[in-house]
Structure 1
Amino acid sequence: MKRISVLQIFRTRQRNGFSLVEMIISLSLGGLVVLAIAHSIVDDLTNSSKVLKSFQVTSSQKLVLDLVESDLSYGALIDYSSPEFGQSGCPLTGRKPILSIQAESGVITYTVGSAPSKIWNGDVLMRCGPAYGLDGRLSHSNQFQNRVLLDNVSCESGECLRLEPTGLDGISKIILNQDLFSGSHGSWAVKTDRYVDTALAL
């Protein structure tokens, strides 16, 4: 029997070309490779977008914590069981009080609930209280302002904003938590906290 070498088969294949079945198999394998590469690129872009969104939210949360810390420096935290808790110089319109601070000019109240207008997404975190002047100090005016601090707040994984005692005299922890939702990213929580040196009436 005449033996046919691999080289002879390859040369014959070069002359005759590939069969239709072989071409279909080759195209299918190539398509799978391209699909895998495209899927990897999409995953990388999705993760990058999620990281960017988390960074933006964290930056906004830090600004809110700056404001809470400043408010606390002008007053004392009101206990949840106190009759003064939740009293507000602004209409709550169904929003839930989550933090109250007794300042010299009145009670500063942080609330969570429905947005006051359609320009905001989802529930919002709002602050009702005196404004800060150009000198960076809290106004002693009795004219309170109700301002949105964060939107798209759901707080399903915990309270949006709270203070916790640390066991150390005059040291407490401010915690701000948001649950973010996206059709492409699913849901995830972004939390920022900070230790503050203040005497709180917890």
Structure 2
Amino acid sequence: MCRSGSAQGFTLVELMLAALLGTFLCGVVFQLLFAEIRQGGALAESLQLKQWQRRTLQLVKHDLERASKWQIDPDASADWPCALADRQPKLAITPRDGSDPVVYSLGPAPSAIWRGDVLMRCGPAFDLRGGIRSGSSYLNRVVLDGVDRFQLHQPSGLPVLQMQLEQRTRQGGRVRLQGVG
């Protein structure tokens, strides 16, 4: 059977509707894809922040292992081995060898490359194996940035510290870690 020329193919209206429907479906698929990428990025950032928080907990534990005593929220006006620059000292750890205390402080970042408030460690430098380099001078180093909370609590009668860390992500979320050292 032979069709006439007008009965073959699609009309312009049908082609326009098909193109519109195809464009709409592509838009939906791209929106879902971009949302998945954003969610994956946020998850990756949260996991990275958790890893950095665990590393910070290990660093504090390492300093506490060498301690003869520690003080939570020490006096900011004391003579510390490093300048605090408007940061609040949160923890001062006095080593057994009687050297200057290692001080963890929280406050404004030392430069614009850091996000928000930073947790800094004022203490002796480390060697390549992660141990304290003997005879090294004290250095102020950023341990974490974007810190919203760094709280320490010593349970009555126990020689341990409970630590709570909270950081914010770039998308405004929060990542929390609680640990004991």
> The TM-score by the shorter chain falls in which range?
0.7 to 0.9
Q: Indicate the larger mover: 89-98 or 36-45.
A: 89-98
Q: Any idea what SS the aligned residue of 1:192 has?
A: strand
Cα RMSD after superposing both structures: 3.0
| Runs ≥4 residues deviating over 6 A | none
* Structure label with greater radius of gyration: 1
Alpha-carbon deviation of 1:144? 1.8
% same residue = 29
Alpha-carbon deviation of 1:42? 0.7
Q: Distance between the aligned counterparts of 1:85 and 1:108, measured in 2?
A: 16
Residue among 110, 121, 136 paired with 1:127: 121
Q: Distance between the aligned counterparts of 1:83 and 1:111, measured in 2?
A: 11
Alpha-carbon deviation of 1:125? 1.8
Partner of 1:60: 52
The within-5 A match list for 1:106-145 is: 106-133=100-127, 137-138=131-132, 143-145=137-139
Alpha-carbon displacement from aligned partner over 1:40-93 (angstroms, at most 9, x marks no partner): 11111111111111222222221111110111122233143x547865211112
Cα gap change, 1:98 to 1:105, in 2 (>3 Å) = same
Cα gap change, 1:149 to 1:83, in 2 (>3 Å) = closer
Q: Any idea what SS the aligned residue of 2:84 has?
A: coil
Structure 1: gaps (5+ residues): 1-10, 197-202
TM-score, normalization by structure 1 = 0.71
* Corresponding residue pairs, total: 175
Q: Any idea what SS the aligned residue of 2:172 has?
A: strand
Alpha-carbon displacement from aligned partner over 1:26-48 (angstroms, at most 9, x marks no partner): 22111111111111111111111
Cα gap change, 1:154 to 1:138, in 2 (>3 Å) = closer
Partner of 2:168: 179
The within-5 A match list for 1:147-162 is: 147-151=141-145, 153-155=146-148, 159=149, 161-162=150-151
Partner of 1:69: 61
